[in-house]
Structure 1
């Protein structure tokens, strides 16, 4: 089974090189200022320039307005917009129409009933990403990258008409089990390949990609 990998929250040339050389299919740049992984368009541009043809440059956005997205795209030629906030299906459609880029909508899960949120996005998004809802008692949680996993059995046996990814608390040590249980065709990692929030470890990136190649 070939599992595609997205390394998200890349912020240094060393981490980007590790992701590309290790075979990541997607690389993620974060444009959400509260995140420790956040970049300005000027910071992201040279990293995006390192990415070869065929690797999908993904921009993580959280309830961003048109002006914010436009400013990013003027400097960073993204291939995919990852909408990680509370964007409605109508907003997803608006973003696609305005900027002409495919959209991956994030749906956050804690229990099986949360999957009901998926249906309205199936006609407007190109991809889905399932991430963990942060625990209710977590202080100052981020929209993603909280190093929190959800119950992967929620996704076991599900099928979707769109390509989808699994995120949330994945590490080199648990990704094989996560894929086995959930059936995920693609996975997204951020905190699981870091030494501290926002500090990617190239060796951990390499280990994660090797673990996925072995599946």
Structure 2
């Protein structure tokens, strides 16, 4: 199986070009204002236009309503919807039917029960993406369901055979090769692990991440 590589949380034209040139198969754009990597709808179209046609674009969304979905799709070419905190298979199927796009469901992981919950959606979601489950936010703060920069216990995923499943959470150029060799996911997904500073992508780290994943 060919390994898919997603570079997520891109906010600049330069980062998009670097990720595409490095060999990423997917580029993710976060549409969630509480995230430091949030892309305003007003600038999403400019970024989408920079993505080569052979690279898939992924809209990363948290419990999106139909209005947000419509606005995101109107901005330009979106190939995939990645949803967080959508815990209803009927809603996932409705998004697929309404948009005609594949829908990936992100699943936060801390225990084997979390893995099992993610696997329960495999019959409806087009891909299950296992990520580190974040801690509860401080009172009054907004919860951000991904981009924690932390790994989780990879042994919880050993034996997972769902086709194409994805691994996220704390991946870096230094550990992605180990993850690929150990777990053989269909996709690896990185955001904070290729940043020079919080929310600021590093061209060198993006290139190194893709190379390490490909050589595993």
Structure 1: how far apart are the matches of 2:54 and 2:5? 13
Q: Contact (CA 8 Å) 2:119, 2:128: kept in 1 or not?
A: no
- Report how far residue 110 of structure 1 moved: 0.9
- Report how far residue 3 of structure 1 moved: 2.5
Q: Which consecutive residues of structure 2, in runs of 5 or more, have no partner in the other structure? A: none
Which residue in the other structure is 2:52 paired with? 52
The range that moved more, 1-10 or 150-159, is: 1-10
Q: CA RMSD in A?
A: 1.6
SS of residue paired to 2:21: helix
The range that moved more, 3-12 or 119-128, is: 119-128
Q: Contact (CA 8 Å) 1:6, 1:189: kept in 2 or not?
A: yes
- Report how far residue 135 of structure 1 moved: 3.5
Q: Residue 147 in 1 paired to residue 187 in 2?
A: no
SS of residue paired to 1:68: helix
User: What does 1:22-171 align with in structure 2 at a 5 Å threshold?
Assistant: 22-135=22-135, 139=138, 141-160=143-162, 162-171=163-172
Give the structure-1-normalised TM-score: 0.93
Runs (4 or more) in structure 1 with deviation over 6 Å come to none
Cα gap change, 1:93 to 1:171, in 2 (>3 Å):
same
Q: Contact (CA 8 Å) 2:105, 2:125: kept in 1 or not?
A: yes
- Report how far residue 213 of structure 1 moved: 1.8
Structure 2: how far apart are the matches of 1:114 and 1:56? 28
